[in-house]
């Protein structure tokens, strides 16, 4: 039985404040007061919300950025957007979803943790981030003084999802300019299927202390690895709750548009059989790492995989999980490819990963996050530029009269480990 999913693209090429929130051609008009109302909701932890628009090419810097979210609306099929958080817990990934393509909701405001990021809409920093090429609706959210960090994170996370859901609703009555169709075959191979079977092992950061990801609203650190349909990811089943370094954070937008899933779906039945997606976590203790690695490898092996693509999120501690998954899969005869960024020092001469294994002989690099970059002043800052000296990749003295000098790890998505950007490194 085939599982079918359609993604309708509604192109957005311009954004403006207006009397009502609507799509007219490729123009998204937004009622600012209504957006602010929907973003705040009834959350008493939020003291104020401000909204700005940032467009590609403008002299605008957004800092600190918490999350980026693509507005979508569920048109047909069970469930709604961001299940378990904004809508019920029905399983998604079938039917039709409409997406406002070319724009995003960006959450900013008071800094939650030191590992948040920058989006520059122009200048040298813009070339490192997909988000610099989007029409961004920025919601700056302030919360009550003294609330716990995890409460602060949750308030901003949910506010951003509410904003994206509100804007996505305008796509309900719009006619998509382009309709993508995806069909998922049953995961187990039938007799005579001689294409290599590939499983995607999708590691999500789940270490606590503002390093969390959510599947159907459930914190991933409390779950065993699980098999899901790739289209569930497209349909908003995974949401970011991370304040991990901006360069390799998987924002909600990254999950919604995961390029590994899209590539494997496009090649399914041509030169490979995409057997499925195993979502697993990156843990803190050795006991938890071992449990997840053994269970995830069991699922991949049960699917009859010949190979697996492994992506991770973050660096340091997650490197150990990655190598554990890799080694155990290779021991089962399942060949692996790892996608990872590097933290090789500002001169590129340090050890790139915190852990390794001889079995990791096929690794795709998405760049060195420690590489320094000078970013000029921008005419407008949405947020607070002073926090740059507290952020991962910045330091005391980063802010000067000439602009800011930081590492690439401050730029949202610069070395994203799903292969979202253009950076890589080669062993010459």
Look at strands 273-282 and 307-311 and give their pairing.
unpaired
Q: What three-state secondary structure class fits 325?
A: helix
DSSP state of 6: E
Query: Which residue of the set 103, 140, 243, 282 is catalytic?
Result: 243
* Cα angle: 156, vertex 160, 164; to 5 degrees: 170
Instruction: Report how far residue 93's alpha carbon sits from residue 116's, in angstroms, rounded to the nearest whole number.
Output: 30
Instruction: Report how far residue 113's alpha carbon sits from residue 211's, in angstroms, rounded to the nearest whole number.
Output: 10
Contacts for 155 with CB less than 8 Å, ≥ 6 apart? 43, 45, 46, 141, 143, 147
Cα torsion 11, 155, 206, 225: sign:
negative
Calculate the alpha carbon distances from 400 to 14, 126, 371, 385 in Å.
Answer: 34, 20, 19, 11
314 sits in which H/E element: none
Length of the chain, in residues? 428
102 sits in which H/E element: none
DSSP state of 150: H
Residue pair 28/170 in contact (Cβ under 8 Å)? The answer is yes
Burial level of 390, CB count in 10 A (0-12/13-18/19+)?
Answer: middle
Q: Is residue 247 annotated as a catalytic residue, yes or no?
A: no
Question: How many Cβ atoms are within 10 Å of 188's Cβ, its own excluded?
Answer: 13
Instruction: Report how far residue 341's alpha carbon sits from residue 315's, in angstroms, rounded to the nearest whole number.
Output: 8
Question: Could you give the angle at which helices 317-331 and 286-302 cross, rounded to 10 degrees?
Answer: 40
DSSP state of 94: S
Burial level of 184, CB count in 10 A (0-12/13-18/19+)?
Answer: buried
> Can you read off the two tokens belonging to residue 380?
């407008």
Cα R_g (the chain), whole angstroms: 21
Q: Which residue has the tokens 């075959």?
A: 185
Active site amino acids: 243
């Amino acid at each position: 039985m085939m599982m079918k999913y359609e993604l309708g693209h509604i192109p957005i090429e311009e954004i403006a404040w207006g009397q009502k929130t609507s799509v007219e051609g490729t123009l998204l008009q937004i009622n600012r007061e209504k957006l602010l109302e929907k973003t705040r909701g009834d959350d008493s932890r939020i003291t104020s919300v401000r909204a700005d628009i940032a467009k590609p090419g403008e002299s605008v810097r957004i800092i600190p950025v918490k999350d980026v979210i693509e507005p979508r609306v569920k048109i047909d099929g069970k469930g709604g957007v961001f299940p378990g958080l904004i809508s019920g817990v029905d399983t998604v990934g079938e039917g039709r979803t409409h997406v406002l393509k070319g724009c995003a909701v960006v959450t900013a405001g008071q800094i939650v943790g030191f590992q948040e990021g920058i989006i520059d809409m122009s200048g040298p920093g813009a070339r490192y981030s997909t988000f610099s090429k989007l029409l961004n609706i920025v919601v700056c959210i302030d919360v009550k003084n003294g609330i716990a960090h995890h409460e602060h994170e949750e308030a901003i996370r949910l506010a951003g999802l509410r904003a994206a859901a509100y804007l996505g609703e305008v796509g309900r009555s719009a006619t998509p300019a382009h309709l993508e169709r995806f069909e998922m075959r049953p995961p187990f191979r039938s007799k005579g299927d001689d294409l290599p079977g590939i499983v995607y092992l999708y590691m999500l950061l789940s270490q606590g202390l503002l390093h969390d990801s959510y599947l159907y609203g459930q914190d991933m650190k409390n779950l065993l690895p699980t098999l899901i349909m790739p289209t569930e990811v497209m349909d908003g089943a995974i949401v970011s709750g991370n304040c991990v370094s901006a360069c390799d954070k998987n924002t909600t937008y990254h999950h919604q548009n995961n390029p590994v899933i899209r590539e494997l779906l496009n090649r399914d039945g041509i030169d490979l059989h995409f057997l499925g997606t195993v979502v697993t976590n990156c843990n803190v203790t050795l006991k938890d790492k071992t449990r997840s690695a053994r269970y995830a490898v069991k699922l991949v092996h049960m699917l009859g995989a010949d190979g697996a693509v492994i992506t991770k999120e973050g660096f340091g501690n997650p490197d150990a999980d990655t190598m554990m998954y890799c080694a155990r899969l290779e021991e089962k005869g399942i060949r692996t490819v790892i996608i990872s960024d590097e933290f090789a020092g500002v001169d590129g001469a340090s050890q790139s990963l915190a852990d390794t294994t001889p079995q990791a002989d096929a690794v795709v690099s998405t760049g060195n996050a420690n590489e320094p970059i000078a970013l000029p002043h921008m005419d407008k800052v949405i947020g607070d530029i002073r926090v740059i000296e507290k952020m991962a990749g910045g330091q005391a003295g980063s802010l000067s009269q000439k602009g800011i000098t930081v590492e690439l790890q401050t730029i949202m998505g610069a070395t994203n480990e799903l292969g979202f950007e253009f950076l890589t490194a080669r062993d010459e």
